[in-house]
Structure 1
């Protein structure tokens, strides 16, 4: 037990019994180690206090304690961020995992979502009414973390990013005050939340626009062998040039494993042309058929299925706490043959069979949002390249991190003005310069809003935007 924890104990013991209705964990308490664990097994940090909140009053109390004791604040929504921003050393970790409520107004097509909800919570509640809002590709991802840095999911072709569907939010700011962010109240804060990350406070409630989708959608997933060359990827690229306004897609490189693959391909490197048609399932089945006719397939996981099932397809690849992870990504101006070749080269040399890498398409509704409309900024990138290092043995850390960083740097010549997706930040070691570049012309406005709502940078465990002096 360190000096900070010892000094805080009399204060936090009173806090836990008098001012707080949730759960409190201090170093040495039963449950403390479990409470500080997040999805990425590499993250090993020890907060001075974990406040697991049950409601907004608890969040206000926890923020007020941190401010009174001059401590930084980490915010845990789903705990899924690869850099482990949900937990900090020697600060207050505000854990929202008890706040997962979702209510749907089907007539207004609006979902009200608590700050600790996971995307599976939103999908289940909204699909009960035949509605959905763009979320991520893994249902165990927290709504808050994914949304606040953009939110790239299957529905981006027709309905844009998660931030494009955020219509209001309730936020506990650094002075312990609950404020409303909407077009009518604190519109500057709403703008900043649309891509500016967790820099501005604890978002305790989101409101999202919903759209008719499902319950059945068409998911295409033809799988080709990496050894068979880039032909299907190039054909997929041309297909999306014609249909990218209706199809959310990625080419995912992986290693074939398990009984779902023919025995002769197990252990071989493959790629999947994964697509979700953003509309009628029968129409999508016809439209996506050409992607299943591009040569000899390893196997084919295509078919019509429930939207909620599609949202959970990748969950088993990334179980919480099982793997050590390091992810990097960058936006690409285009997808040239040379960039495809580079992605194939790095897929072939990945040190771990659990590792994934992907080429993601953009366009459609995502591209139609003006630069200044959201903090997320410029939408003129055509593609994204991500390298998702996933492995088990701590002794393999250096090799896997080096592979991801080398591939990320090698792709720089194909990049889009140096911009990156800030939900895949490695472990955040590239710092302020990369954050500034990624926000481009919106950066100074974000600094001004940060200075207004968090002048002491209390919320700094994120891709941080430092307040002005």
Structure 2
């Protein structure tokens, strides 16, 4: 007898947990990072292994259900959940296996970066990962993956050696430079368009467990002067120096001078990607800008990786952007500060306006090597707007979009899709030639566009 109920069909031989509305655990399982996203899947498949993922893909295809794939749930666009379809939850795929001799690690598709860092740091190794430790490795890596150490070691996707992928037809394949090389090219920057990655194999690099890293703060009145000084130093810095600036609300912490608490300040973050003792000279030019708060010191790498976690709590409404800036000119700095302070105040205390120095580790990988494109930018502009009251949605989103528009004259015109909520920026992320190649790949691996709840590459037929 044919089973027409997708939940019932999925339960046949399924190892994990199948949840429907009103069942215990359903509401918790459907929640994602961005509180603006409130969706109700018809079925949640909490997978325990790759076979479960393949079964969920088969049920979704056979029943005509939209598919959402969730690892950490950090998609600001809410692409890791859906209404009425099937949510494939990878959180049960948690295994991390490290080979310290080969300097490689295999990680299940449900692993979070904090978990991956803990496993690899036990051997003094790492790969560039998310700057918030609760970010899932899956969406981060397939979307490119800028981490603190990308300035030296490239993107997360540049360090991917192979991946186990469940395809739209239910087949499970291994993609690498030697097997399904076209698919391997596509999942390194092409997002979740071609299948569900259930295991990642990464190249690892020595770092830690102690690194020279931390945050400094400056009064906002010095922001224009300090930003110019930071730009000049960042442009001249070695690739081992990861750094960023941010306009944020100073927290009510003992290390913050009382007169700055609760006020907008200019922050500066730094990490030396190497032995802590060797980083002193590289970091000193930043310290020479004379911050009023200087927390740059030897710290565990895992602690620095989790340092931004308190500023990115779940349960708040979020709108971000990710725009590339080729050069940080004086005019770009002035435009940034003209809106950054006002928008930070508007979204206090959680909103932050960030500029990351990208570094040459990303540009060193030739365009076309992976689907990830536009590697020539030196900076990434990343406004993070977060607020609690739904009545503020319109004004916060409008203000953030206006900020991005004001910075557009200084941008390359390309977008970083991991930080982009709109789904109309896909072509901007790739350019015409790469986009055409991605469409051809979509035609091969997912011609029916089963995996469409993403920054979607639409098949041509």
TM category (shorter chain) comes to over 0.9
Whether 1:447 and 2:439 are equivalent positions in the alignment is: yes
CA distance in 1, matches of 2:251, 2:95: 37
8 Å CA contact retained: 1:99, 1:114? yes
Alignment of 1:200-349 (within 5 A): 200-259=194-253, 260-295=255-290, 297-320=291-314, 322-349=315-342
**3-state SS of paired residue (1:419):** strand
CA distance in 1, matches of 2:235, 2:5: 62
Q: Which runs of 4+ in 1 moved over 4 A?
A: none
Alignment of 1:318-467 (within 5 A): 318-320=312-314, 322-350=315-343, 351-353=346-348, 354-416=350-412, 418-426=413-421, 428=422, 430-431=423-424, 434-440=425-431, 441-467=433-459
**3-state SS of paired residue (1:217):** strand
8 Å CA contact retained: 1:221, 1:275? yes
8 Å CA contact retained: 1:244, 1:361? no
Shift of residue 363, structure 1, vs aligned partner: 2.6
8 Å CA contact retained: 1:171, 1:179? yes
CA distance in 2, matches of 1:230, 1:136: 29
Report Cα offsets for 1:102-149 as digits up to 9, x if no partner.
100111111101001000111011111110000011110000011111
RMSD: 1.4
Question: In 2 relative to 1, CA 257–448 (structure 1 residues): closer, same or farther, beyond 3 Å?
Answer: same
Shift of residue 384, structure 1, vs aligned partner: 1.2
Shift of residue 290, structure 1, vs aligned partner: 2.2
Whether 1:59 and 2:53 are equivalent positions in the alignment is: yes
Report Cα offsets for 1:375-415 as digits up to 9, x if no partner.
00231111111111111111111111111111111111111
What is the aligned residue count? 455
8 Å CA contact retained: 1:269, 1:347? no
**3-state SS of paired residue (1:445):** helix
**3-state SS of paired residue (1:44):** coil
Match of 2:37 in 1: 43
Shift of residue 357, structure 1, vs aligned partner: 0.9
- TM-score after normalising by structure 1: 0.95
Shift of residue 248, structure 1, vs aligned partner: 1.4
Report Cα offsets for 1:276-317 as digits up to 9, x if no partner.
11111011123212212214x331221111111111000111
CA distance in 2, matches of 1:13, 1:121: 33
- TM-score after normalising by structure 2: 0.96
1:168 aligned residue (162, 166, 185): 162
Match of 2:150 in 1: 156
Whether 1:70 and 2:61 are equivalent positions in the alignment is: no
CA distance in 1, matches of 2:145, 2:6: 38
**3-state SS of paired residue (2:22):** coil
CA distance in 2, matches of 1:211, 1:288: 21
CA distance in 2, matches of 1:244, 1:286: 11
Match of 2:76 in 1: 82
Question: In 2 relative to 1, CA 311–229 (structure 1 residues): closer, same or farther, beyond 3 Å?
Answer: closer
Shift of residue 19, structure 1, vs aligned partner: 2.1
Shift of residue 41, structure 1, vs aligned partner: 0.9
Whether 1:183 and 2:177 are equivalent positions in the alignment is: yes
Match of 1:25 in 2: 19
Deviates more, 1:37-46 or 1:228-237: 228-237
Match of 1:4 in 2: none
Shift of residue 323, structure 1, vs aligned partner: 0.9
CA distance in 2, matches of 1:100, 1:462: 23
Report Cα offsets for 1:339-361 as digits up to 9, x if no partner.
11121122211111110111111
Whether 1:123 and 2:117 are equivalent positions in the alignment is: yes
Consecutive unaligned residues of structure 2, counting only runs of 5 or more, are none
